[in-house]
Amino acid sequence: MIAIMSVDVEEWFHIPSGTDNILTFDKWDQAPQRVGEVIPQILDLFDQNRVTATFFFLGWIAEKHPQLVKDTFMRGHEIAAHGYAHKLIYNQTQNEFKEDIYKAKSILENLTGKNVIGYRAPGFSITPETEWAFDILAELGFKYDSSIFPGKRFYGHYDNFNEKPVLVKTQNQEIIEFPQTLIDFGLIKLSFFGGGYFRLFPEFIIKRMCRIVVKKNRPLIMYIHPRDMDVDQPHVKLPLLKKMRHYINISKTTEKLSNITRGFDFKSFEMILSDPDFIVSITAEHGT
């Protein structure tokens, strides 16, 4: 069984809107910052439940909170990149994307003294039109990516992508893609394992969906944002449906996360990649 826990370390205002975020980049410095309050709570929860996770840090967050990166790393978790300025890939040129992730990767490696091998795009924004991102990621030394949502959604999606990890061949070297875990209901595919989905669905349903994934011998990949459990975050004016999606059940997330993480042996992406059996299985499946 493969169960992976991940945290997208970004602020309450890092919600994509058009070609930017609900709060434009020039206003970030003046906004209240909350990750310094919430990440320690997540770290304590993971310690209690013996969870080792991958923390995908925004480079901008790492610049503002370098000790937060160091503390997370020292407590045994993997530090990976979420880009620098929380830009959806399909809103960037190839050069802009390369500069963004190179900057983030450099900041994180300078703070930890360790190579950053993992990346997740804001909004799961590797799509059929942005597959060029794999070439750039491999060129910069990333070993794996977790940026594909293999079903329909509000932002980036890649409907017909494989539901299991895939070896992607690039102009440089192969890179492993870990698509987000979904449940296929035929007419629709849903994720119960992160963000608004995790907050929306009751705990017993999420646990049931987890068991379905495990029974099918697929990786169970979960993700959380600090804002998903931050009851004290500022709220922004949003259309009703979007408001519900971003703020529903925040007060219940911490307990739900604690209960679910007690039931599975959650590890980081890095730990999974270090397992020879996983590497053998994925290379055998793809004939390499």
Report helix, strand or coil for 239: coil
Angle between helices 250-261 and 35-48 (to 10 degrees): 30
Structural domain boundaries, residue 10: 3-285
Query: pLDDT tens string for the chain (288 positions)?
Result: 899 999 999 999 998 887 889 999 999 999 999 999 999 999 999 999 999 999 999 999 999 999 999 999 999 999 999 999 999 999 999 999 999 999 999 999 999 999 999 999 999 999 999 999 999 999 999 999 999 999 877 667 788 888 889 999 998 889 999 999 999 888 888 889 998 889 999 999 999 999 999 998 899 999 999 999 999 999 888 888 778 788 899 999 999 999 999 999 999 999 999 988 888 788 766 554
Euclidean distance between CA atoms 254 and 51, whole angstroms: 14
Euclidean distance between CA atoms 106 and 75, whole angstroms: 21
What's the domain count of the chain? 1
CATH number at residue 280: 3.20.20.370
In the chain the first and final C-alpha atoms are separated, in Å, by 23
Euclidean distance between CA atoms 188 and 240, whole angstroms: 23
Are 174 and 141 in contact by the 8 Å Cβ rule? The answer is: no
Give pTM, 2 decimals.
Answer: 0.95
